[in-house]
Amino acid sequence: MAVLKFRVYWEEDDAIYRDVLVKHTQNFLDLHFIILKAFEFDQKHDATFYRSNDIWQRGREISKEVYDRPYKVPPLLIAETAISTEIIDTNQHFIYEYDFVKSWSFLIALIQVIKNADADMTLEYPLVSRIEGVGPMQYGTKGLLGEKFADIEEKYDLNEAADGFGEEGEEDAHASDDGENTSDDGGDDGEEDADASDDEDNNQESSGSEFFEGEAF
């Protein structure tokens, strides 16, 4: 018996990958589950593997089930196909596709074969042995936070609060404009008082006095 080490890359960024270890006697269903666990995906969707080569061409499928679509060759089933039967060389490649609507794709490369004598048989396989890079979020931020985030949104109505804040700012601006208008009205009263004072002083000239209308600062 041997342990196979596969490096599973996220297709969109090869700096993000997971190393997984499986026994060569285990099947592709085991590999399917450990990839989902490694990238913290759920197990709700359809999936398939493809045999591949050095330039990542898609060959025969090793599928979760036979789907209602045309096949050039009937697919193998992941629950019935041992991984060792599909290892042709020491640089074997596969492509893994999960959730056909979202079309998550991962590139799988065999990077090491650990012989039985060197393998740690006290471990429970399959397992994740290395994690590099922050993996993609299957459902985005909201899906990651789950129902709690939706509850917070509903309780506080975040969108409505944002609109209300804008309206409050407008009210403040209107209040400021009213203040300016009041200041201007006060200036008019000052002019009337000055005219009344001039009448009482029998139209005597007042030297060195000027009236300045208030300005908003």
Based on the fold, state whether residues 132 and 168 are members of the same structural domain: no
The number of folded domains in the chain is 2
Answering whether pTM is above 0.85, one says no
Q: Say which CATH number the domain at 40 has.
A: 3.10.290.30
Based on the fold, state whether residues 81 and 50 are members of the same structural domain: yes
Q: Which of 3-12, 92-101, 173-182 has the lowest mean pLDDT?
A: 173-182
Tell me if 151 is assigned to some domain: no
Based on the fold, state whether residues 117 and 169 are members of the same structural domain: no
Tell me if 172 is assigned to some domain: yes
pLDDT at 116 (0 to 100): 82
DSSP string of 141-178, one letter each residue: HHHHHTHHHHHHHHHHTHHHHHHHHHHHHHHHHHHHHH
Domain carrying residue 52: 2-136
* Residues 6+ positions from 159 with CB-CB distance below 8 Å: none
* Residues 6+ positions from 116 with CB-CB distance below 8 Å: 1, 2, 3
pLDDT band at residue 102, thresholds of 50, 70 and 90?
Answer: very high
